Structure 1
Amino acid sequence: MYIGAAMFFTDYSMTPAELATALEERGFESVWAPEHSHIPLTRKSEWPGGGELPKKYYDAMDPFVTLTAAAAVTKKLKVGTGVCLVNQRDPIQTAKAVASIDQVSGGRFLFGVGNGWNQDEMENHGTDFESRHKLVRERIEAMKVIWTKSKAEYHGDMVKFDPMMAWPKPVQKPHPPVLVGGAFPYGARRAVRYGDGWMPLRRRKAYAEVRELIPKFQAMAKEANRDLASLPISIWESKEDESELKRDQEAGVVRVIVSLDSEKSDKILPILDRWAKLAQKVK
């Protein structure tokens, strides 16, 4: 089972290069960067975490920029968006960004995607909140065509373009894995429909432990004739708990991801050292 770490990179956190170097030195598999283009001062939708929205959400850097910096100073560490808000991005330009970072990283990019919770934020981008799930699906389908076809075209209800050519193509074939974030059952259904993996949070209001829902997810995948090996599960927001991690491993979880605060190295490195020791016990 792999272990990754995520951070909202800001101008007051560790730099992406610092964290990536520290993670690779300690044997971590991946580094993850979230995305928020901005945070409107109005709030129609509640933050799923409850309470006040943390400052780091307002201050997050662009994930493709930070992950490129992380890739440039590492050789094996994978770099992933956790998650890219596809509903707020042009699919043609995003397809190029994904292919470009996969190229410069030598095929180490993991495309974590999500549909978003902040209604005001996405409305500023011209996205309708109620139809965002369909929009994301069509944008991802369209990007897959761009990545895999020399002459790409897509004609959906919300995303449409006539034959065109776009390079570079990704190093990974047919394309970097599209890991779909979201809760059970809706996020899980989207992962089964168009994803290459499911990335749920460990705990949500609807359930105390997502690991207990893995059999239901697997049944959902089998019903859709999806090979379970093509839908690895990555659990977010794992804690330093050996017994919990071993239960994850036994349940077939491929990856757990640690959420780090936006802090400097004096606060973060001791946490990474503890996780590196813990990782040796759950290989």
Structure 2
Amino acid sequence: MKFGIATFITDEGIRPGPLGAALEARGFDSLFIAEHSHIPASRESPYPGGGELPRVYYRTLDPFVALSSAAAATQNLLLATGIALVPQRDVIHLANEAASLDVVSDGRAALGVGAGWNREEMRNHGTDPKTRGARMGEQLAALKEIWTKEQAEFHGAYVDFDPIFAWPKPVQSPHLPIYVGGESKAALDRLARYGDAWLPRAQTTSDQLNEVRRWLADQGRTDVPFTIFGASRDQEALDGFAEGGVQRVTFYLGTKPESETLRDLDELAALADSRR
């Protein structure tokens, strides 16, 4: 298995350039970073992890700015959103930002995507939480049109535009890979239809991984690699990921100042080395 890092990059932690350089120096292959545009002060949506919403959720840097900084400090590191909240974004801007990251990184970008959970945050962006899944499906289809056509055109219930010119195009062919996050039936349907890779969370078991792989094969998708998002250091869980045929595990890295982060990375690198 390959090993990467999943984290929140904020104004209070290590900067993305030094983080990317540190990851590459320690043999990690990838950096996946989370995003939240903001957190509404009045919120009824419960935090999926339970309890109070962690401080990092309030302070994330824009992922494409942060990943561009990491790109400038690295040569081989895969640079990915984990995840971009697609239903909250304008699809034409998203296509431009992701393709621009692929260009400035010389083809090292990946777009991790998800529907999101914070309903108040979605509403602030003009998105109806009840239709976010259908909207996201159209957005992913539109992204592929924008990235691969000289004149892109799309007409749907939520995404609608006449022919447009939109550059840059991604360096990777046919486009940068789309990693679909989530384990629900809706997320898996989205993966089978639009995804290039699956990005399940660390709670996913080897039995679930194998079940999804069989289901994907039934959908005619035998080409989908799995990347685990935000794993702990639990050896039994890592064994399960190996048994489930996972191609990459990203360890969750807490958001801390640079000196503390480097110590944590040394420990995670040693663990990764022991599993290779």
Q: TM-score range by the shorter chain?
A: over 0.9
2:206 to 205, 211, 226: 211
Q: Which letter maps to 2:15?
A: T
Partner of residue 129, structure 2: 129
Deviation string, structure 1 residues 37-77 (Cα, Å, up to 9, x no partner): 00001223211111110111111110000000000010001
Deviation string, structure 1 residues 220-270 (Cα, Å, up to 9, x no partner): 21221112x2x1111122122344323312321011111212101222212
Aligned-pair CA distance for 1:188: 2.2
Give the TM-score normalised by the residue count of structure 1.
Answer: 0.94
Query: In 2, distance between residues paired with 1:244 and 1:37?
Result: 32
Aligned-pair CA distance for 1:214: 1.3
2:217 to 219, 222, 236: 222
Q: Which letter maps to 2:188?
A: A
Matches within 5 A, 1:64-79: 64-79=64-79
Q: Which letter maps to 1:38?
A: H
Higher mean displacement: 269-278 or 62-71: 269-278
| SS at structure 2 position matched to 1:6 | strand
Deviation string, structure 1 residues 190-211 (Cα, Å, up to 9, x no partner): 21121111111122xxxxx433
Partner of residue 245, structure 1: 238
Higher mean displacement: 210-219 or 92-101: 210-219
Specify every segment of 5 or more residues in structure 2 that has no aligned partner in the other structure, as ranges: none
Question: What is the aligned length?
Answer: 276
Q: Which letter maps to 1:28?
A: F
**Identity among equivalent pairs (%):** 45
Matches within 5 A, 1:49-198: 49-198=49-198
Partner of residue 266, structure 1: 259
| SS at structure 1 position matched to 2:129 | coil
CA RMSD in angstroms comes to 1.3
Aligned-pair CA distance for 1:183: 2.0
| SS at structure 1 position matched to 2:44 | coil
Deviation string, structure 1 residues 5-51 (Cα, Å, up to 9, x no partner): 12211111000011111100000011121110000012232111111
Partner of residue 2, structure 1: 2
Query: In 2, distance between residues paired with 1:121 and 1:184?
Result: 21
Partner of residue 206, structure 1: none
- Conserved? CA contact 2:202–2:232, under 8 Å: no
Matches within 5 A, 1:269-280: 269-280=262-273
Q: Which letter maps to 2:270?
A: K
Higher mean displacement: 125-134 or 238-247: 238-247
| SS at structure 1 position matched to 2:171 | coil
Partner of residue 233, structure 1: 226
Give the TM-score normalised by the residue count of structure 2.
Answer: 0.96
Aligned-pair CA distance for 1:281: 2.4
Query: In 2, distance between residues paired with 1:47 and 1:26?
Result: 33
Query: In 1, distance between residues paired with 2:104 and 2:178?
Result: 18
